[in-house]
Structures are given as C-alpha cells and as structure tokens.
Structure 1
Amino acid sequence: MTRLVADLAYIAAQDDEPLMGYDWDVDRKAYIRLLGEYDMTRNPTALAEFVKVIELA
C-alpha cells in the first residue's frame, strides 16, 4: 500500500510529459536494509537514490 501511495503522490506532483513513476523492480534485501537505515537516521538520501524512476508508458 505504501508503494501505491508513493506512486500516486509522485504522479500527482508532475506537470510535464513524459509521466514518470518509481521502478519497484529492486533488490528486496537491499531495499529493506535501506528502509531500516532510514528509520534509524531519518535521512532519505540513500533510499531515494536506490529507487529509480522510469518513464510510464
């Protein structure tokens, strides 16, 4: 559910074409580790760099 909300918020914030979305095809273990790191530090940089964006068709 969190990924869906993230996608919807990101799409709603865009004004220009092409429409971009998050690429959730990620290494699950690394993603979970980065979520834990974010929980500890509240620094979203590594997590934001890890989850790439792609053009939505």
Structure 2
Amino acid sequence: MNFKKMTMLHKSHRFEARAVMEELVKFTWLTRDVSPYLVSRYSERKETAEELSKRVNLSKAT
C-alpha cells in the first residue's frame, strides 16, 4: 500500500468531518430560538373531541 495515498485520504475525511460539524453548529445557532416550534409534534398536541368541545364551547361565555 502507498502510505502517502492513505494519509491524503484520511486527511480529506478529516476536512469533510470538520465541514459537517461547522454546518451543524451553524444550523444549531440558527434554530436555537425556534426550537419549541421544531420539536412540537402533532401527535403530542392532539386533543380529544371532548377536550376540544370544552375549549371552544361558547355556551358558558354567553
């Protein structure tokens, strides 16, 4: 095996890994303020028909 070729290959992988990590850090900083929106799942927020009826029932308000 050619040692120099292996070294160059590993160096390029290190550069790629660094580039990916930099993009991840940028994405994290950009989405930090909107994280509640990004992690909110419909299945966790889904109301039952009864809960919805209680919440929007206007008969109590009038």
Fold-level similarity (TM above 0.5):
no
TM-score by length of 1: 0.28
TM-score by length of 2: 0.26
More helix by share: 2
Structure showing the higher strand proportion among its residues: 1
Which has the greater radius of gyration? 2
Higher RCO, Cα 8 Å, sep 6+: 1
